[in-house]
Chain A
Amino acid sequence: MFYQTRAKNLTVLLVLGGLALYAVYGGYFAREIVVEIALLAMLAIALDLVAGYGGMISLCHGALFGIGAYLFGGLTALVGTPVWLATLAALAGTALFGWAVGAVTAGIGGIFFIMATLAFGQMAYVIVFEWRALGGDDGLAGIPRTDLAGIGLDTGDSLTFALLSLAALALSYTIAAIALRSSFGRTLTGIHANEERMRALGLNVRRHKAAAFALSAAIAGAAGLLAAQHTQYISPEYLVWTVSGEALIVVILGGIGTLAGPLVGAVVFVALEHVVARFTDYWHLVIGILLIAAVMAGGRGLYGEIERLLAPGPGTGKGGDGA
């Protein structure tokens, strides 16, 4: 079950504060990295919500991220929709797609659930890839950023955008935490722990899973539309299943079913990517070994290990507070 513990407060504040300081005192490159981390962390939080707490290991979160980016990009760059409306439409659209995937796959368990989400994600990828009006495999350029001049912010500035991304990350974490602390979240954890019992108690499991997936999708879509604003160019590569795989790696490295872990995972993942890339082209080798090591070590992830060191005692044997 999810508790917003002191360790989680501390971790989230340290990560957000550290990144904000890095963005303020670092140069342009540092700010780009901060945005990258913030958006990856949002995607990982979205995934942890369904995977860690709902037991739904999704391989379509890359597609949800991409759908958010494409809905926003397509509406603003091609249709000329105002940014605020495109934002709302992108969030609603990804939530709807997530809801549909969640509803249709609710009866499928284990590895077959992973395969089913993979199928839906890849369908979205193929459609975007083949859709000439959306630029096909050339991608789509000319996407505007949110205009916040009205409240005195210039989103074209790299520091402002980095801090806005961090604010979006903080908001995503808060929404996920509130959802998990509510009866909605407790019920979701209950489904993960024992689906039959929840059904026997009179819960409509399918509807609940679909709703959880919709919420997760909206957060993933928010990360996607911010990514579209960040680079102002999007390509179908956002939607490929390996992006979902990377998000899953971030969740595992950070600690699945901990919600704070994905933040740690995203920092480590992006930092490693840039550090390792300085020495060698073969950074996937490093991440592959780390992933295997993390799972073989008990699957608690970095945050889980920290929590175990801080509070050794009964009940911390298995990683995460998912079930």
Chain B
Amino acid sequence: MSGAEFWIVQALNGLQLSMLLFLLSVGLTVIFGLMHFVNLAHGALYMLGAYFGVAMVSATGQFWLALIVAPIGVMAVGMGLYQALIRHMRRQGPMNQVLVTFGLIFVLVDLVRILWGNVGLGISVPELLHGPVQLFGISYPAYRLFIILLGLAVMLALGLVLTRTAIGAMLRASVENAAMAATMGINVERLLLWVFALGCALAGLAGVIAAPVFSATPSMATDILIPTLIVVVVGGLGSLRGAVLGSLTVGFVQTFGAVLVPGLASLLIYALLAAILILRPQGLLPARQ
């Protein structure tokens, strides 16, 4: 493998990690911006998505079905949690939200361990995405390319909904000024619930598509949590563009850091986080200036 090919592969890997982070962080950041609610259990929902996917595939053998059903399952869990816990936590301040959702991580992780055990479970990639594909003169696993394309598609769809539809306008108005939006007749509460549900579904989707690459393990819940939170903080609360920029930044810093300064890649990420918090606490592209 020549030098240029190596860097193209690394760039694609960075892009693939960025897309996973985007799927996770976009829900988190909008919930954060809209509800001022910090959901530490978001990573646990990602883990649930992976296990729901594993269960679906082992029951039916249908990857494509799992890709649809698992996010819906995660969404249902998310809605249940919203009704049972999160609704009551809305006005309790960040401290209590952090604690309750931190407790939820423990509960969900142990439930998964009870149901599926500690051993990592894999999903085999569907036939269509099995082999490598030729791209820019290199061969790259088709499945990883699929992750990139799916992430880009979701990014595009969300961007269109947010900028071109009435729902999107309502959402932007609510992030900008929830009280004002409510007086203009927008049902902010109901909007919140659906945004939360969508965020959960996207976390679940990220979980299913990650399962064939990393295999489903209980540690997924906490492993992905910190990078996702970093994306949210770096990008800026509540904004789609922030989530895109944050995911790309973290994904590429992590991937290239691992190649260029092995071992210290995660140090770079934390240094980036600390620098943003101290120098530009609103993030790079916040929804509210």
How many B residues face the partner with a CB closer than 8 A? Answer: 37
Segment 244-281 of B: residues with Cβ below 8 Å from A? 263-264, 266-267, 270-271, 273-274, 277-278, 281
Q: Are A57 and B98 in contact (CB under 8 A)?
A: yes
Q: Are B111 and A292 in contact (CB under 8 A)?
A: no
Interface flags, B204-238, vs A, CB<8A=1, else 0: 00000000000000000010001001100100000
Q: Are B226 and A241 in contact (CB under 8 A)?
A: yes
Segment 115-168 of A: residues with Cβ below 8 Å from B? 115-116, 118-120, 122-123, 126-127, 130
Contacts of B113 in A (CB 8 A): 281-282
Stretch of A30-38, A41-49, A104-112 on the interface side = A104-112
Q: Are B277 and A108 in contact (CB under 8 A)?
A: yes
CB distance from B33 to the nearest CB of A (A): 12
**Residue of A116, A120, A292 most packed against chain B (CB within 10 A):** A292
Query: A119 CA to B92 CA in the complex, in Å?
Result: 24
**Residue of B99, B107, B263, B264 most packed against chain A (CB within 10 A):** B99
Say yes or no: A127-B107 contact (C-beta < 8 A), given A115-B233, A119-B274, A282-B113. no
Task: Tell me, yes or no, whether A190 is within 8 Å of chain B by CB.
Answer: no
Contacts of B38 in A (CB 8 A): 111
Q: Are A252 and B99 in contact (CB under 8 A)?
A: yes
Say yes or no: A108-B263 contact (C-beta < 8 A), given A242-B222, A291-B103. no
Contacts of A241 in B (CB 8 A): 226
Contacts of A249 in B (CB 8 A): 99, 102
Segment 94-127 of B: residues with Cβ below 8 Å from A? 94-96, 98-100, 102-107, 109-111, 113-114
Q: Are B85 and A292 in contact (CB under 8 A)?
A: yes
Task: Tell me, yes or no, whether A18 is within 8 Å of chain B by CB.
Answer: no
Q: Are B278 and A285 in contact (CB under 8 A)?
A: no
Identify the closest chain B residue to A115 (Cβ). B233
Query: A98 CA to B136 CA in the complex, in Å?
Result: 50
Task: Tell me, yes or no, whether A299 is within 8 Å of chain B by CB.
Answer: yes
Contacts of A295 in B (CB 8 A): 92, 96, 99-100, 103
Q: Are A296 and B100 in contact (CB under 8 A)?
A: yes
Q: Are A292 and B104 in contact (CB under 8 A)?
A: yes
CB distance from B226 to the nearest CB of A (A): 7
Task: Tell me, yes or no, whether B164 is within 8 Å of chain A by CB.
Answer: no
Say yes or no: A288-B103 contact (C-beta < 8 A), given A119-B270, A122-B266, A126-B270. yes
CB distance from A208 to the nearest CB of B (A): 18
Which secondary structure dominates where chain B touches chain A?
Answer: helix
How many A residues face the partner with a CB closer than 8 A? Answer: 38
Task: Tell me, yes or no, whether B190 is within 8 Å of chain A by CB.
Answer: no
Contacts of B94 in A (CB 8 A): 110-111, 114
CB distance from A210 to the nearest CB of B (A): 14
Segment 22-42 of B: residues with Cβ below 8 Å from A? 38
Task: Tell me, yes or no, whether A248 is within 8 Å of chain B by CB.
Answer: yes
Q: Are A299 and B96 in contact (CB under 8 A)?
A: yes
CB contact between B107 and one of A130, A245, A288, A296 (< 8 Å): that residue: A288
Contacts of A130 in B (CB 8 A): 263-264, 267
Task: Tell me, yes or no, whether A289 is within 8 Å of chain B by CB.
Answer: yes
Contacts of B274 in A (CB 8 A): 104, 116, 119-120, 123
Contacts of A127 in B (CB 8 A): 267
Q: Are A287 and B277 in contact (CB under 8 A)?
A: no
CB contact between B277 and one of A57, A116, A288, A299 (< 8 Å): that residue: A116
CB contact between A122 and one of B100, B114, B270 (< 8 Å): that residue: B270
Query: A189 CA to B211 CA in the complex, in Å?
Result: 48
Given contacts A282-B113, A296-B100, 19 further A-B contacts (CB under 8 A): A104-B274, A105-B277, A108-B281, A111-B98, A115-B233, A115-B277, A118-B273, A122-B270, A126-B264, A245-B102, A248-B102, A252-B99, A284-B106, A284-B110, A285-B114, A288-B104, A291-B103, A292-B85, A292-B100
List of 8 A-B pairs having minimum Cβ-Cβ separation, nearest first = A288-B106, A291-B103, A285-B110, A288-B107, A292-B103, A111-B94, A119-B274, A284-B106
21 contacts between A and B (CB under 8 A): A108-B281, A111-B98, A112-B233, A112-B277, A112-B281, A116-B273, A118-B273, A119-B270, A119-B274, A126-B270, A130-B264, A242-B222, A248-B99, A252-B99, A284-B107, A285-B110, A287-B103, A290-B103, A292-B99, A292-B103, A295-B96
List residues of chain A with CB under 8 Å of any chain B CB.
57, 104-105, 107-108, 110-112, 114-116, 118-120, 122-123, 126-127, 130, 241-242, 245, 248-249, 252, 281-282, 284-285, 287-292, 295-296, 299
